Amino acid sequence: MEKRITATQAVRDFSELLNRINFKGTHYIIERNGKPVASMEPVIMRKKGTTLKELKFLLKDLPRLDDELAAFAADIENIRKCQPSLPKKDIWE
């Protein structure tokens, strides 16, 4: 939600303004002489993502299954076999 306020209002109510921005996500356009001069809005903290360049290093650091590969494959197959079957018709009909 975007609101327009004067610079004077922003100075007078600065603490309250910050609370509204932080807790309600309000976005303010600050005007001076009826013209927009600044914008105040919540900072979105983004989690640092992984790049494709980093992917090869991540894959290199994963533990190897080597001797455990056959046991892992058998576990997956057993889990697949133990899954309940899906109903043959739509249960909502």
Tell me the C-alpha to C-alpha distance, in Å, between residue 78 and each of 47, 65, 71, 72, 73. 37, 18, 10, 10, 9
Which pLDDT tens digit goes with each residue over 44-70?
766 677 778 888 888 888 777 777 888
Architecture of domain 2-40: 3-Layer(aba) Sandwich (3.40)
Element spanning 37, H or E = strand 35-40
Whole-prediction pTM: 0.47
Q: Where are the domains of the chain?
A: 2-40, 52-81
Query: Among residues 23, 33, 25, which one has the least CA distance to residue 3?
Result: 25
**How crowded is residue 83: how many other Cβ atoms within 10 Å of its Cβ?**
7
Model pLDDT, residue 15: 94
Which pLDDT tens digit goes with each residue over 7-41?
999 999 999 999 999 888 899 999 999 999 999 99
